[in-house]
Amino acid sequence: MGVSETPAPSVNVEITNRSGDKNHNSCEKCFCDSDNNQYSEDEVSKVDRLEAGIVFLKHTTLRDINVFELFEIALLVIIWYISSAISNNLNKTILDERVSVLPFPLTLTFFQFGFISLSCLIIFKLATSSSSSSSSHSLLSTRMQQLDSKTFMTVLVPLCLSQVTAHLLTQISVQEVPVSFVHTVKATSPIFAILLSIYFKFNEQYTVTLLCSIFSIIVGVILSSLTEINFTFLGFITALGSAMVFSWQNAYSKNVFRNKEMDHVNLLFYTSLCAFVVLIPVWLLYDVPRIMETVKLHDRDHYTLLSTLGLFFLDGLCHFGQNITAFTFMTKVTPLTYTVFNTSKRIVVIVSSILYFHNSVPFLNGLGITIALAGVAMYNKAKYDQRSTHSKVRH
């Protein structure tokens, strides 16, 4: 995608005969060094074979056997889940009028887009000056791309509008209803993801087991949230709307990555910057007067103002963390896989909200979490069986 990878040297171990043609009935084991010179088993002594094996191991990276990739994905998921949990709880705290002096959804959304844009600019700056920019597995290898008019209109504008819409809907729903209810409703996103994956032709295969796993995750998340539901129609509609828009955005972003139009860091930067610019006039007209009035009311209460600003900064940091990890994770998996892990992330967010806001945990909450986790395990097993079947067919 956007992060370039340096191909490993051509060092292989293969089964071949002396003429170079592959033959399963009559063959000899050959080693190839970094210069692609072949040494048959009869021609190479034990010492030479040992040296050739060392050459092979030396030039075989962990990524070639997927160990590094698995570790990288696991680390991304952990950071994604933790930053998401903190960010969601901070969002609820900031938008709570009893705690924050700036409980304005538009201001919070505006600040988050600005913080992400600035953070991406810092990454680009470090990529220019850092000696580690040659690393293919580092964010510091990412450079700012120049956009042409076609990319701007077909990629940036649609994603910018979806970013603004989805984030505003999410902030409004978080202010109206508990975090657990918001993520219960947003757990319906796998349904939209399946439809969008079909539309964008990602060639996903949806077996009965796979669909049952999606259903189990949704049911589990709903059960885990039943006791926290304080229903308001506005909160329900905005949460459902954000789920639909985010699902479309994820599928469209995956399509952008597949076509290699833009890497994930540049996509995050430009969509956030565009959203930030779009919101400037709305923020100035709607929220700035209210902010000025609030500042006047608390002109002597510097501690409250500073603590609120501190919450905004910490929220921006965590929001950037969850976005950069989510976008990076999206480039490595299919849309449905991303949606399943995103649904599992909601379990973490729900549990963290229960602990953070000191909510009780009744039986249905624990049962729902168990069912959802079982659904994730079922999905992983179904995907593993699919890969195994496809591998056997190819061979």
Between 148 and 203, the more confident residue is 148
Give residue-wise pLDDT tens across range 208-257. Answer: 887 888 888 788 878 876 766 676 788 888 988 998 898 888 777 777 76
**Assigned token pair, 395:** 């061979």
The predicted structure's pLDDT at residue 334: 73
Q: With 50 as the cut, is the pLDDT of residue 1 above it?
A: no
- C-alpha count within 13 angstroms, C-beta hemisphere, residue 346: 30
Confidence of residue 59 (pLDDT cuts 50, 70, 90): very low
The predicted structure's pLDDT at residue 14: 39
Q: With 80 as the cut, is the pLDDT of residue 131 above it?
A: no
Q: With 70 as the cut, is the pLDDT of residue 391 above it?
A: no
Confidence of residue 8 (pLDDT cuts 50, 70, 90): very low
Q: With 90 as the cut, is the pLDDT of residue 285 above it?
A: yes
The predicted structure's pLDDT at residue 129: 72
The predicted structure's pLDDT at residue 25: 43
Q: With 60 as the cut, is the pLDDT of residue 350 above it?
A: yes
- Give percent of the chain with pLDDT exceeding 70: 69
The predicted structure's pLDDT at residue 229: 63
Distance (Å, whole) CA 43 – CA 395? 30
Give residue-wise pLDDT tens across range 105-126. Answer: 999 999 999 999 999 999 888 8
The predicted structure's pLDDT at residue 203: 64
The predicted structure's pLDDT at residue 151: 81
Mean pLDDT over the full length of the chain: 75
Q: With 60 as the cut, is the pLDDT of residue 49 above it?
A: no
Dihedral sign, Cα of residue 63, residue 67, residue 73, residue 79: negative
Q: With 80 as the cut, is the pLDDT of residue 384 above it?
A: no
Give residue-wise pLDDT tens across range 171-219. Answer: 999 998 888 888 878 777 767 767 777 776 666 677 888 788 888 878 8
Distance (Å, whole) CA 5 – CA 372? 36
The predicted structure's pLDDT at residue 17: 41
pTM here is 0.69
The predicted structure's pLDDT at residue 97: 84
**Taking the domains of the chain in order of start, what are their residue ranges?**
13-60, 86-394
Distances (CA, A) of 129 to 143, 259, 284: 11, 29, 36
Between 134 and 334, the more confident residue is 334
H/E run at residue 307: helix 302-330
Q: Is the CB of residue 190 less than 8 Å from the CB of residue 210?
A: no
Distance (Å, whole) CA 321 – CA 10? 37
Q: Which SS3 state, helix, strand or coil, does residue 388 take? A: helix
H/E run at residue 40: strand 38-40
Q: CB count, 10 Å around CB of 87?
A: 22
